[in-house]
Amino acid sequence: MSKNIKPLAFYLPQFHPTAENDSWWGKGFTEWTNVGKAKPLFNGHQQPICPGELGYYDLRLSEVREQQAQMAKEYGVYGFIYYHYWFGDGKMVLERIAEEVLHSKKPDFPFCFCWANETWSGIWHGLTNKILAEQTYPGEADIKKHFAYLLPFFKDDRYIKVDGKPLLMIYESEKFPNSSEYLEIYRGLAKENGFNDLYIIASNKGADNIDYSALGYDAKVSNSYNKSFDESKETWNKSQISQRLKRKLYSYLGKKCTIKGPVRIDGQQVFDKVIYERLNVDTYPMVLPNWDNTPRSGERGVVLENTNAVMFEKEVCKAIRFIKEQSNTEQFLIIKSWNEWAEGNILEPDYKNGFSFLNVIKKLIKDA
């Protein structure tokens, strides 16, 4: 029996006020703050990008979370990958939404975690030297504390499992000290608590030319989009001859010169360079409907231009072909993202595109 394609979309739990964000950015700050105040930075730049069907929602409302899940289910998304922030020594942020989903038992929709083990700085808002929350790895006692927090989620029937193993994605997959031994402690704790093991996936962040099996991973999300993105950004920067000459002149004169952005890349150029490669662990493709992080980064941002549902359909078809060629444990299609509005990568309907990207998922998953 052939397995079904299972689209999993990254989910950002940032759309509600928190004490940390109040302290860092001002009372009532959420990602909507950046989204709403965004401005066009060049001729034809579509900003602000306004939400459509769901509006400027507050994720503290259970009704909103259920609407999101119903919409995702209706359009073929199998589950959400909630970003999870554990900085060490029990320090967390943005944990409220997942906890409410757990305790309320709503929505009835599959989910799992991506541990976003990354230090937070103020770079999104120009505070490049300010560390907001530092990612640390204190050792085995902290691992046990972390696992104890995760265990009720893992036991939930909605939590996504692979052959009975809770799926845990790691964002910065190479950051652990003695990675395989570090992750083995988590695996041992899972076995002590009645699971066969964990199914641990390295995210798309790390390069593909690393031995993820040796690092202790069962699977990897393809880095191909990141690689294509980086190559295209480098090409664009090299093309800005006048800006580079200006920078050299200012450097010679001992003055600072900031090259004005944002970086503008044609979406077709990025898509054409995407080549998914089979690694020595289960390998899952990632697709990107759109990208514009200028609401967060302003002139330092990157804009993927000319993205549309037609291009996204070709992109998803390429990913599905790759999935069908593999003998992976599962047939996951990773989507970045459901609702990262301030980075402009969204499946949720916006005012201009409506349901066009979701319709692609619905059509292709039904036919796959």
Model confidence band, residue 253 (pLDDT cutoffs 50, 70, 90): low
DSSP 161-206: EETTEEEEEESSTT-STTHHHHHHHHHHHHHHTT-S--EEEE-TTS
Task: Check pLDDT > 50 for residue 136.
Answer: yes
Give per-residue pLDDT as tens, 185-234. Answer: 999 999 999 999 999 999 999 999 999 999 999 999 999 999 998 888 88
Tokens 């952005």 belong to residue = 261
Model confidence band, residue 1 (pLDDT cutoffs 50, 70, 90): very low
pLDDT computed for residue 92 by the predictor: 97
Model confidence band, residue 124 (pLDDT cutoffs 50, 70, 90): low
pLDDT computed for residue 244 by the predictor: 53
Give per-residue pLDDT as tens, 311-345. Answer: 999 999 999 999 999 999 999 999 999 999 999 99
Q: How far apart are CA 3 and CA 153, in angstroms?
A: 25
Nearest CA to 55 out of 64, 63, 47, 43 is that of 64
- What average pLDDT does this structure show over 226-250? 72
Q: How far apart are CA 121 and CA 87, in angstroms?
A: 13
Model confidence band, residue 288 (pLDDT cutoffs 50, 70, 90): very high
Task: Check pLDDT > 90 for residue 126.
Answer: no
Task: Check pLDDT > 60 for residue 141.
Answer: yes
Percent of the chain whose pLDDT exceeds 90: 83
- Relative to beta strand 219-221, strand 199-202 is parallel
pLDDT computed for residue 243 by the predictor: 58
Q: Could you tell me which residue, 80 or 127, shows the higher pLDDT?
A: 80
pLDDT computed for residue 247 by the predictor: 53
pLDDT computed for residue 353 by the predictor: 95
- The CB-based long-range contact list for 143-148 (8 Å cut-off, 24+ gap) reads 143/182, 143/185, 143/186, 143/189, 144/185, 144/189, 145/90, 146/86, 147/186, 147/189, 147/190
Give per-residue pLDDT as tens, 142-172. Answer: 999 999 999 999 999 999 999 999 999 999 9
pLDDT computed for residue 260 by the predictor: 67
Dump strand ranges (E) for the chain: 6-11, 79-88, 91-93, 111-115, 120-122, 127-133, 161-162, 165-170, 199-202, 219-221, 263-266, 282-284, 286-287, 302-305, 332-335, 339-340, 345-346
Give per-residue pLDDT as tens, 266-281. Answer: 999 999 999 999 999 9
Q: Across the chain, what does the average pLDDT equal?
A: 92
Give per-residue pLDDT as tens, 11-43. Answer: 999 999 999 999 988 999 999 999 999 999 999
Domains of the chain: residue spans and CATH: 6-223+267-367 (3.20.20.80)
- What average pLDDT does this structure show over 44-57? 96
Q: How far apart are CA 220 and CA 205, in angstroms?
A: 10
pLDDT computed for residue 368 by the predictor: 78
